[in-house]
């Protein structure tokens, strides 16, 4: 198993109903060797406004318009309280595709929060044979 690849985003002001990138991983040079794909995990931190709406997290291959390999169910946060929202996914399509350049963590809010930040970790996922 390889060392994890981590992307850490800076605090971002997010507009309502707009999908924005919170974090981008460094370049990944190859497909995972003999594994099941890449395990994707991370967390976003946000303080929703007084009428928070919902939050949807996505991890996409390469860019903001790339293939979504993880999409959360809509998250309903508590109003006006700083919160963390972890996620965990698996990109199994990457092996067949021959690898990706990088991953981006995106977020969409139905109502804009205060500053939001996030990070993403990518690690090879190995089979057990």
CATH number of the domain that 34 lies in? 2.60.120.380
| Count of alpha carbons within 13 angstroms of residue 40, beta-carbon side | 26
User: Contact 72/87 with Cβ under 8 angstroms?
Assistant: yes
Measured between alpha carbons, how far is 6 from 21 in angstroms, rounded to an integer? Answer: 15
Q: Give the count of domains, the chain.
A: 1
pLDDT of 124 reads 80
pLDDT of 106 reads 92
> Which domain range does residue 37 map to?
5-124
Tens of pLDDT along the chain (129 residues) come to: 566 677 767 666 666 778 888 888 888 866 666 667 888 999 999 888 888 888 999 999 989 999 999 999 999 998 888 999 999 999 887 755 666 778 999 998 888 766 688 888 888 876 555
Instruction: Answer whether residue 129 is part of any domain.
Output: no
Instruction: Answer whether residue 112 is part of any domain.
Output: yes
Instruction: Answer whether residue 28 is part of any domain.
Output: yes
pLDDT of 114 reads 67
pLDDT of 50 reads 84
Can you give the pTM of this predicted structure? 0.84
pLDDT of 128 reads 55
């Amino acid at each position: 198993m390889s060392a994890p690849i981590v992307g850490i985003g800076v605090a971002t002001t997010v507009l309502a109903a707009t999908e924005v990138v919170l974090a981008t991983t460094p370049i990944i040079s190859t497909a995972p060797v003999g594994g099941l794909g890449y395990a994707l995990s991370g967390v976003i931190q946000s303080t929703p406004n007084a009428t928070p709406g919902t939050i949807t997290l996505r991890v996409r291959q390469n860019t903001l318009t790339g293939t979504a390999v993880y999409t959360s169910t809509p998250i309903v946060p508590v109003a006006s309280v700083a919160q963390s929202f972890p996620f965990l996914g698996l990109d199994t399509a990457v092996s067949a595709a021959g690898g990706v350049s990088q991953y981006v963590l995106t977020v969409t809010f139905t109502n804009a929060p205060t500053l939001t930040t996030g990070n993403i970790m990518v690690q090879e996922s190995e089979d057990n044979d």
